[in-house]
């Protein structure tokens, strides 16, 4: 029996904004994932190194993504419900039951079109009701990544601070900007 | 202004530790509840304090019993560690915490390999602790809204940091 995909209704995000659909991943998405997961420019600000083959990516998909409580494929309209993902967005528990960390990644071909912003807006519109007890979603962005900072600002996040020498990524100590969206913050249309 | 010395703990410090660890006023802003008996405190010393990479007793004179504790705990990120400090109520308001913080940041970057950032998360309403950190040269970076649960209440936490290149305050 064919397994039904769970599909959210597309976000209505304003007259000129992008509509995205967030759905659960499937193993068959691995080829589409390779488009961003193998791209060194995409991986530059991420903790992980670009994937060189699909086998480890398939393992990651199977062992981490599929069992994860909130890890979604970002799909664009026009591809139908079986559309190929152009990116991923996840909300990971972060050391307190009230708090989770947002992460997102997008294939380079879709940068600069508002796709990530639409995905983040869609996420904060739904995740608080889907994850019991969640009150705060936070995101840590490299100080040298203004594009990602703009995504969060446009999605209604509050820029709380620059945290100096916050984390160690790919051999370097990095400053991070902390953004947050709490349950009672207004959603941005 | 108090001068303090920092030294490792031993099990023999349990009684002194009980003074602050059992005090509900001291633990008001802590995630943990006051201790009501010696055995769990001894277990805490054995299991957590003695093996800890950086957990120090705050003493007012070199041979004396501790009046508090300061700890710096590495996180999953090798460059970042979290600081905690606690002082017995009888020694509040004399600069003991400030002095202990100054000593801690002077020592910890040399002691903990790879750590470049020491941070402290302080309850938004804990003005005394915030002042102690500021006087010890920490930078107030942000208020993190609805950050964590402390004793069944969702709290805003202020994050302070001292990084390895910050100037030490005399």
Return the domain boundaries, chain B: 4-163
- The answer to whether the CB of A36 falls within 8 A of the CB of A87 is yes
* Alpha carbon B125 to chain centroid, angstroms: 17
Q: How many CB atoms lie within 10 A of CB B95?
A: 17
Angstroms from A55 CA to nearest CA on chain B: 27
- Kind and range of the H or E run holding A12: none
Going by C-alpha positions, the residue among B101, B104, B147 that lies closest to residue B124 is B147
Report the residue of B78, B137, B139, B145 to disrupt the A interface, i.e. the one with the largest count of A CBs within 10 Å: B145
Residues from chain A contacting residue B139 (CB–CB below 8 Å): 164
Token pair of A146, please? 């203004």
Which chain A residues contact residue B154 at CB under 8 A? 98, 135
| pLDDT of amino acid B124 | 95
What topology does CATH give the domain B4-163? Aminopeptidase (3.40.630)
Interface contact flag, B79 A168, Cβ < 8 Å:
yes
List, in order, residues 6 or more apart from B80 with CB less than 8 Å away. Answer: A165, A166, A167, A168, B74, B115, B116, B117, B119
Position B129 pLDDT exceeds 80: yes
pLDDT, tens digit (0-9, with 9 covering 90-100), for B36-86: 999 999 999 999 999 999 999 999 986 789 999 999 999 999 999 999 999
Residue A80 binned pLDDT confidence (cut-offs 50, 70, 90): low
Residues in chain A closer than 8 A to B142 (CB atoms): 160-161, 163, 178
- Edge-first strand order for the sheet with A172-182 is A21-24, A71-75, A85-93, A99-106, A136-142, A172-182, A158-169
pLDDT digits (tens, 9 = 90+) for A3-30: 444 444 444 444 446 889 999 999 999 9
Q: Give the pLDDT band (50/70/90) at residue A101.
A: very high
More confident residue, A8 or B104: B104
B142·A160 Cβ contact <8 A: yes
| Over residues B92-99, mean pLDDT | 95
- Measured between beta carbons, the chain A residues lying within 8 angstroms of B143 are 160
pTM over the 0.90 mark: no
Nearest CA among B23, B38, B164, B35 for reference residue B107: B164
pLDDT at B110: 96
Q: What is the mean pLDDT of residues A56-64?
A: 96
Nearest to A168 among B78, B159, B163 (CB): B78
Mean pLDDT, chain A, integer: 90
* Ramachandran category for residue A80: left, alpha or beta (phi over 0 → left; psi -120 to 50 → alpha): left
Q: Strands B55-59 and B5-8: what pairing? A: antiparallel
């Amino acid at each position: 029996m064919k397994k039904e995909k769970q599909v959210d209704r597309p976000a209505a995000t304003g007259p000129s904004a992008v509509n995205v659909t967030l759905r659960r991943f499937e193993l068959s998405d691995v080829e589409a994932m390779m488009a961003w997961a193998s791209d060194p420019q995409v991986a530059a600000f991420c903790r992980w190194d670009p994937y060189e083959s699909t086998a480890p990516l398939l393992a990651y998909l199977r062992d981490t993504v599929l069992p994860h409580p909130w890890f979604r494929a970002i799909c664009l309209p026009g591809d139908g419900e079986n559309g190929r993902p152009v990116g991923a967005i996840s909300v990971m528990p972060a050391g307190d039951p009230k708090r989770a960390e947002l992460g997102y990644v997008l294939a380079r071909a879709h940068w600069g079109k508002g796709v990530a912003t639409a995905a983040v807006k869609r996420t904060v519109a739904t995740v608080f009701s889907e994850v019991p007890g969640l009150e705060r979603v936070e995101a840590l962005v490299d100080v040298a990544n203004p594009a990602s900072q703009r995504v969060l600002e446009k999605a209604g996040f509050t820029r709380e601070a620059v945290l100096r020498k916050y984390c160690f990524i790919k051999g370097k100590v990095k400053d991070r900007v902390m953004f947050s969206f709490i349950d009672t913050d207004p959603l941005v249309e | 202004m108090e001068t303090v010395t920092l030294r490792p703990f031993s099990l023999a410090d349990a009684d002194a530790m009980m003074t602050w660890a059992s005090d509900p006023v001291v633990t008001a802003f802590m995630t943990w509840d006051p201790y009501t008996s010696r055995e769990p405190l001894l277990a805490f010393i054995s299991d957590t304090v003695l093996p800890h990479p950086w957990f120090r007793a705050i003493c007012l004179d070199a041979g004396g019993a501790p009046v508090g504790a300061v700890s710096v705990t590495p996180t999953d990120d090798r460059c970042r560690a979290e600081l905690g400090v606690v002082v017995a109520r009888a020694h509040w308001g004399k600069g003991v915490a400030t002095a202990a913080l100054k000593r801690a940041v002077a020592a910890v970057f040399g002691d903990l390999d790879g750590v470049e950032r020491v941070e402290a998360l302080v309850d938004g309403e804990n003005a005394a602790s915030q002042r102690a950190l500021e006087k010890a040269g920490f930078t107030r970076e942000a208020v993190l809204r609805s950050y964590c649960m402390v004793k069944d209440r969702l709290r805003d936490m202020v994050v302070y940091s001292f990084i390895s290149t910050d100037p030490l305050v005399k």
